Amino acid sequence: MADVCRTIRHRGAFALDTEFVTEHTYYPELALVQIALPDEIFLIDPLAVPDLGEVWDLVADPSIVSIMHGAEQEARFCWQETGRMPGALFDVQLAVAFTGARFPLNYASLVQTVLGVRTRQNQTRTDWIRRPLAAAQLCYAVEDVDHLFPVHERLMDQLHELDRVSWLEEENAERLASVEHDLNHPRWWRVSGTQGLSRRSLAAVRELFFWREEVASRRDMPRRRVLRDDLIVSAASALPATEDALRRLRGFEKRQSREVEEVLDRVRRAIDMPESELPESRRPRGQQSLARMLSLLMEAVLEETCVDQQVDASLVGTASDLRELVRWHLAGREDASLPALKRGWRAAVCGDILEAVLAGEVHVSVADPAGRRPLAIERADQA
């Protein structure tokens, strides 16, 4: 492996993929690492070679290009091993979206789209931890990196032709920063089912979320096996003050006494928390409804605009991004932080036209209801 790493440093680029299992541990369990150079492919067994620090140092090195497909989990592995994000990542799944392809494309569809080559993706549900690996698994693992170098070369040519290399670099940096932020500051508010909860109940959700993180990490087990999201919300909503009250909630009847006491301790912290320390509640329902209604119109305009710009709308902005833009506009554009759709390459694609729609400066009409481009979008002064 030392020879391989020296070769990579000399060449300045390599392709990487991993296979991992998430069912049994707190962090995903690395089961296989695939590395490709233009003329060689290597498979590394992390169960036999547990110290892969050299490999992740290469990924983190900003002077070495690492070519991957859908690299979020690999970025997490890199951060866990080195404390750094990938230094010069080229994510082909992200790159192809800037050439007009759908986002996200799976590996087989991407290779077919870019190179016109069919791949065999028949081991996606395989058990990568079990040894020995079968010949079919090894062939699948090889093919997962076999095409990354030619895909990279083709996409770089297209991105230069479209003058979108800087768009890819900007988006890649934002996504890696988001992954790093999540690793350092887990987003407790993403617990599902918290809509409509009071501020004190939201405080209980936050307390239980971080308790679950502590327990799952200590026991090295999946979070859901400690406490599912619906049970967190159930306890936070009821705010039980006694063991009897907690055990009356479905899902807590047979919990061990020690665990019940720990859950109650976190709930009591929320109950006793000063008002000033409670998390903010969600926006008023009326404001949410208005933002949602306007964002539906904006979604149609975004789709139409992205067709013209040859970039997939799902990469440009989500429904949440559109609602953020609407709320920012309705608030008089006074927020110091610009919404995502008004920053960087997204602003160049759609920011101006979307804000013009909100300002009433654009006419939107149905031109061809049965066509691929059903909407007509015109500036008011040109209509």
- pLDDT digit string (tens) for 284-312? 555 567 777 888 888 989 998 998 899 99
Verify that 212 and 338 share a domain, yes or no: no
Verify that 231 and 130 share a domain, yes or no: no
Going from the C-alpha of 314 to that of each of 171, 339, 352, the distances in angstroms are 13, 16, 18
Verify that 96 and 134 share a domain, yes or no: yes
Residue 16 pairs in a beta bridge with 35
Verify that 194 and 168 share a domain, yes or no: no
Verify that 267 and 208 share a domain, yes or no: yes
3-state helix, strand, coil in the chain (%, to 5): 55, 10, 35
d(CA 54, CA 260): 44
Question: How many domains does the structure of the chain reveal?
Answer: 3
Query: Do the Cβ atoms of 16 and 35 come closer than 8 Å?
Result: yes
For residue 359, what are the domain limits? 285-379
Q: What is the DSSP string of 265-298?
A: HHHHHHHH--GGGSPPPPPPHHHHHHHHHHHHHH
Verify that 312 and 227 share a domain, yes or no: no
Q: Tell me, what CATH number does 291's domain have?
A: 1.10.150.80
Reduce the DSSP state of residue 379 to 3 states and report it: strand
DSSP for residue 202: H
Last residue of a domain, one of 184, 210, 245: 184
Is pLDDT of 226 > 90?
A: yes
Verify that 15 and 126 share a domain, yes or no: yes
Q: Closest Cα partner for 356 from 381, 323, 320, 331?
A: 381
Reduce the DSSP state of residue 63 to 3 states and report it: coil
- pLDDT digit string (tens) for 65-106? 999 999 999 999 999 999 999 999 999 999 999 999 999 999
Is pLDDT of 124 > 80?
A: no
The two beta strands, 40-44 and 65-68, are unpaired
Q: In the chain, which ranges are E strands?
A: 13-21, 29-37, 40-44, 65-68, 89-91, 362-366, 375-379
pTM listed for this prediction: 0.90
Verify that 6 and 120 share a domain, yes or no: yes
Verify that 270 and 314 share a domain, yes or no: no
CA gyration radius for the chain?
A: 25
Q: Tell me, what CATH number does 162's domain have?
A: 3.30.420.10
Is pLDDT of 9 > 80?
A: yes
The two beta strands, 40-44 and 29-37, are antiparallel
Phi, psi of 353 (to 5 degrees): -65, -35
